[in-house]
Structures are given as structure tokens and as C-alpha cells.
């Protein structure tokens, strides 16, 4: 059987230039008007460059933005769950007109050039509208005055509201993959590379585990379930920016290496990383994770409890339910083909004497070790003892070493789902 095709029906749409084309575009870019881009836009550009965001070849028009927010559909009817925007201040964009070419730069490095096909304004009311549609969930923190709570505690909404006023749309030519190919050599993989790896292994049914926290026993269990029902699994870590208090990618990668080497059949597991920042969009981000994983050749996205959530903004399994509610365009090429692998709340049960889930364990809350990345970070940050069976000793040694080296610690807020209160 063949791998699942890239999303959008156009194959891998890659905007990254190489060779003489790259040299010529770099020379041209030096003479164009420059726009300074956000960290999020940098990650989005790299994903467009390597085909991770196929079929996108540039930043969204207003029609695309409106369709994605309202219906999870681009203007041409292709499924897409979250906006991908490029914004600039009024001063920065002054003098930029439709048809112009511009250079996109961050921290002194040129990442792309762009042909401007549309220029439009985004008001605060527009941003609030987007926040309500894309980031509001069914959890306790989303009830009542959502925007007031979100502006205080939701990093995704805070990023939306902090966007600059002018949006620029158009196709891009990507000139750099940033630090990822060197800093994460062997971990940072392009979709074409993962597809080649899967084909060499003879895999067609592949599951992906999304990671932004250190890998604990629950993550390990989810992967092993996936290995049992699929040809193999890719442990796919976010190596872009996180929120304060999250553990950096280099530490998380070391933890995964330790687990894979000690507790997995290596032939059944691939470790990789992708260059996006978290959006913390909960259910919508779960759909985004499945969408770009399809481009990497993944056919099943592991979706557990509170996937891509933050605080108590989302229901514990809202990210699973959204897969049953998303639009399904008639054209298979425009439809999301990466399906969810839905797994219930998992934990270690002393009476079961092993990992279990709410579907398999008949015992009570007091017999269970509630596992979550947030809870682990909270205990490590506070210097608390880690309960038995929470994580592998080798991994906890790595994490304790990281926390002992910190000179400044960030307060970790515990949500109900992470603490086990909602069980």
C-alpha cells in the first residue's frame, strides 16, 4: 500500500529555493523593502518552504482567513483549520502595494521573499472574532467573559491580539530553514525525508505522537498502542518556540532518545522534529497537527486527553470530538485524510500493576498515578518528589539536571485535567 498523499491534492508544495535560484533570490532580496516577521511567521515560512504546509504556498488572503475561521475551509474549499497570517505595522507597510515584492526578515536573517497579492487591515474586533471562533473551547475557562480570561491566561489568544494591524498575503520563496538543520541535525526532517524513511521501511499506516512536553509513561504507552495497530510510529516533537516554563526542545529530544534506546523496538519508531511554534489552539490545533502530519506521510494522529490545550479552556476530549464535526469536502484531495487515533485518559494503576486507561481499568482514582506533562513540570520546578511509575528513572535524571541548572523558574499553573481533579 502507498503512503497517504499530501494534503490538498497538489503533491508536496515546497517553496524552498536551492542552488542558483537561491543565490539569485538572495541577491534580489537585499534590495527589497524589508518586513520584520514574528517567531510564529518564521516557523510558518519554513513549513511552507519544506512542504509541511501543503498546499499553502504563501500567507492567507482575507477570504482565506474568513473561511478558515468560520468553516475551516480555504477560499478554494480546501480544508484548513487555523489562520496562517503575515502582519506588519502601518508604518512598516506604508508604501507597500499589491504587486510589490518584499523581503521577510527576522533577527538579521532573511527567510523569504514574497509577492504581495493582497493588503488588508485587521481590526481589534476582527482579532476578537477570530479568537472566539478558533480558540474558544468548551472548558471552564472559556465560559463567561472568554476574552477577559483569555487575555490574562491564553497564550494563543494573546498572540492573536498582539498581531500588527496590516495583513499581507501572497506566495513566498523561502530562502532559509534557520537554525534547524544544524542545531537539530538528524531530528529536523522535511516531509520528503520522512516519506522516504517510511517507504524504505515498507510502512504505509503510520501514527504520529505530538510532543511539546518531556516524554513520560503515558506518552510511551500511547506510542506502544500505536505500534500495535500501525506499521510504525513517528515521535514528532515541536522544536519551535513554546511558552515560558515549557522545557526546551534539546532536553526533550534527549529524553526521547533515552526512551527509544531503552524501551522500544527501534525498527518500529522514528524520531523527528518540526519547526513550528505552538499556537495553543486546542481542538483546532489538533486538526492542524493532523493536517501537516499528512504531508509528512502520516495516516493516523494520536489524540489523547486535552491535546494542544492550555489552562482549562478546552474539554478533556474536545480535540477528539472535533474530528467528527470538521467539514469533509467532496474532493478527496481537499479533505483531511489523516485520521485520529483516539485514546482515552491513560495512567499507571497499582492494582492493574501497569499502564491502563479509563476504558480498561475498573479501579478508583486513589489506585492511579495521574500522568501529565504539566504536572511533571510543576513537580520538577517545585523540587517535589516524583511518584513511582510517573516516568522512567533515566528520563527523570535528565530532567532534574535541567531544572537544577535553572537560575530563574517560571510558575507552572495546574489545570484540572493535568492534576487529575476532573477524573
Q: If we measure between CA atoms, which residue out of 103, 253, 268, 96 comes closest to residue 167?
A: 96
Handedness of CA 351, 353, 355, 359 (dihedral sign): negative
Check 163, 190, 195, 212 and give the catalytic one: 212
Choose one of 127, 152, 178: the last residue of a domain: 178
Residue 300 pairs with which residues in a beta bridge? 207, 339
When pLDDT is averaged across residues 127-145 and rounded to a whole number, the result is 97
CA distance 83 to 56: 11
Check 213, 284, 295, 392 and give the catalytic one: 213
In this structure, the answer to whether residues 39 and 138 fall within a common structural domain is: yes
CA distance 220 to 229: 15
In this structure, the answer to whether residues 109 and 233 fall within a common structural domain is: no
Give pLDDT tens digits for 46-57: 999 999 999 999
Q: Phi first, then psi: what are they for 56, rounded to 5°?
A: -65, 135
Q: Identify the CATH number of the domain in which residue 30 sits.
A: 3.10.400.10
CA distance 352 to 56: 47
In this structure, the answer to whether residues 32 and 129 fall within a common structural domain is: yes
Asked if 165 and 173 count as a contact pair (C-beta separation under 8 A), the reply is no
In this structure, the answer to whether residues 70 and 159 fall within a common structural domain is: yes
Q: What is the pTM of this model?
A: 0.92
In this structure, the answer to whether residues 113 and 234 fall within a common structural domain is: no
In this structure, the answer to whether residues 66 and 195 fall within a common structural domain is: no
| Residue-level pLDDT at 417 | 53
Q: Decide if 280 is inside a domain.
A: no
Q: Identify the CATH number of the domain in which residue 350 sits.
A: 3.40.50.620
Asked whether residue 421 carries a pLDDT value surpassing 60, the answer given is no
Choose one of 154, 178, 202: the last residue of a domain: 178
Mean pLDDT of the chain: 92
Confidence of residue 240 (pLDDT cuts 50, 70, 90): confident
CA distance 113 to 174: 7
All 3 cell numbers of residue 305? 486527553
State the angle between helix axes of 393-404 and 249-263 in degrees (0 to 180), rounded to the nearest 10: 160
Confidence of residue 411 (pLDDT cuts 50, 70, 90): low
Which of the two residues, 215 and 295, has the higher pLDDT score? 295
Confidence of residue 297 (pLDDT cuts 50, 70, 90): very high
Which of the two residues, 86 and 381, has the higher pLDDT score? 86
Report the chain's C-alpha Rg in angstroms: 21
When pLDDT is averaged across residues 332-344 and rounded to a whole number, the result is 97
| Residue-level pLDDT at 79 | 98
For 411: left if phi > 0, alpha if psi spans -120 to 50, otherwise beta; the answer is beta
Q: Decide if 353 is inside a domain.
A: yes
In this structure, the answer to whether residues 230 and 154 fall within a common structural domain is: no
| Residue-level pLDDT at 9 | 97
When pLDDT is averaged across residues 361-390 and rounded to a whole number, the result is 81
Is 212 catalytic? The answer is yes
When pLDDT is averaged across residues 33-55 and rounded to a whole number, the result is 97
Give pLDDT tens digits for 151-177: 999 999 999 999 999 999 999 999 999
The residue range of the domain holding 85 is 19-178
CA distance 247 to 68: 31
Q: Decide if 3 is inside a domain.
A: no
CA distance 102 to 56: 18
Asked whether residue 35 carries a pLDDT value surpassing 70, the answer given is yes
Neighbouring CB atoms inside 10 A of 336's CB total 22
Asked if 232 and 200 count as a contact pair (C-beta separation under 8 A), the reply is no
| Residue-level pLDDT at 412 | 52
In this structure, the answer to whether residues 118 and 136 fall within a common structural domain is: yes
- Give the containing element (helix H, strand E) for 172: strand 166-174
Q: Decide if 333 is inside a domain.
A: no
Choose one of 155, 178, 201: the last residue of a domain: 178
In this structure, the answer to whether residues 151 and 217 fall within a common structural domain is: no
In this structure, the answer to whether residues 168 and 63 fall within a common structural domain is: yes
> What's the structural domain count of the chain?
2
| Residue-level pLDDT at 407 | 72
Asked if 62 and 169 count as a contact pair (C-beta separation under 8 A), the reply is yes
Amino acid at each position: 500500500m502507498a503512503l497517504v498523499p499530501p494534503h490538498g491534492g497538489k503533491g508536496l508544495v515546497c517553496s524552498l529555493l536551492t542552488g542558483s535560484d537561491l543565490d539569485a533570490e538572495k541577491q534580489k532580496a537585499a534590495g527589497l523593502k524589508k518586513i520584520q516577521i514574528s517567531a510564529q511567521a518564521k516557523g510558518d515560512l519554513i513549513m511552507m518552504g519544506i512542504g509541511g504546509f501543503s498546499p499553502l504556498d504563501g500567507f492567507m488572503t482575507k477570504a482565506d482567513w474568513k473561511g478558515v475561521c468560520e468553516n475551516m475551509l480555504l477560499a478554494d474549499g480546501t480544508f484548513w483549520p487555523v489562520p496562517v497570517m503575515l502582519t506588519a505595522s502601518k508604518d512598516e507597510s506604508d508604501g507597500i502595494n499589491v504587486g510589490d515584492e518584499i523581503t521577510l526578515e527576522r533577527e538579521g536573517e532573511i527567510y523569504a521573499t514574497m509577492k504581495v497579492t493582497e493588503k488588508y487591515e485587521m481590526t481589534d474586533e476582527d482579532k476578537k472574532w477570530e479568537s472566539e471562533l478558533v480558540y474558544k473551547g468548551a472548558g471552564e475557562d472559556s465560559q463567561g467573559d472568554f476574552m477577559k480570561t483569555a487575555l490574562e491566561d491564553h497564550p494563543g489568544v494573546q498572540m492573536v491580539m498582539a498581531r500588527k494591524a496590516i495583513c499581507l498575503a501572497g506566495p513566498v520563496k523561502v530562502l532559509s530553514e534557520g537554525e534547524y538543520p544544524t542545531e537539530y541535525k538528524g531530528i529536523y526532517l522535511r516531509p520528503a525525508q520522512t516519506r522516504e524513511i517510511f517507504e524504505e521501511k515498507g510502512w504505509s499506516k503510520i501514527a504520529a505522537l505530538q510532543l511539546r512536553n518531556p516524554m513520560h509513561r503515558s506518552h510511551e504507552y500511547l506510542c506502544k498502542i500505536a505500534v500495535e495497530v500501525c506499521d510504525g510510529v513517528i515521535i514528532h516533537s515541536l522544536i519551535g518556540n513554546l511558552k515560558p516554563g515549557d522545557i526546551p526542545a534539546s532536553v526533550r529530544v534527549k529524553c526521547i532518545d533515552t526512551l527509544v534506546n531503552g524501551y522500544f523496538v527501534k525498527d518500529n519508531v522514528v524520531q523527528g522534529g518540526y519547526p513550528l511554534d505552538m499556537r495553543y489552539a486546542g481542538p483546532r490545533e489538533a486538526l492542524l497537527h493532523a493536517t501537516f502530519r499528512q504531508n509528512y506521510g502520516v495516516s493516523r494522529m494520536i489524540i489523547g486527553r486535552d491535546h494542544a490545550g492550555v489552562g482549562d479552556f478546552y474539554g478533556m476530549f474536545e480535540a477528539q470530538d472535533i474530528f467528527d464535526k470538521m467539514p469533509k469536502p467532496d474532493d478527496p484531495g481537499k479533505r483531511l485524510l489523516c485520521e485520529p487515533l483516539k485514546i482515552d485518559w491513560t495512567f499507571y494503576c497499582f492494582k492493574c500493576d501497569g499502564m491502563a486507561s479509563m476504558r480498561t481499568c475498573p479501579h478508583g482514582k486513589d489506585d492511579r498515578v495521574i500522568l501529565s506533562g504539566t504536572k511533571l513540570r510543576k513537580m520538577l520546578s517545585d523540587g517535589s518528589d516524583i511518584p513511582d511509575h510517573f516516568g522512567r528513572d533515566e528520563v527523570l535524571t535528565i530532567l532534574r539536571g535541567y531544572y537544577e541548572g535553572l537560575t530563574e523558574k517560571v510558575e507552572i499553573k495546574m489545570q484540572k485535567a493535568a492534576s487529575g481533579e476532573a477524573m
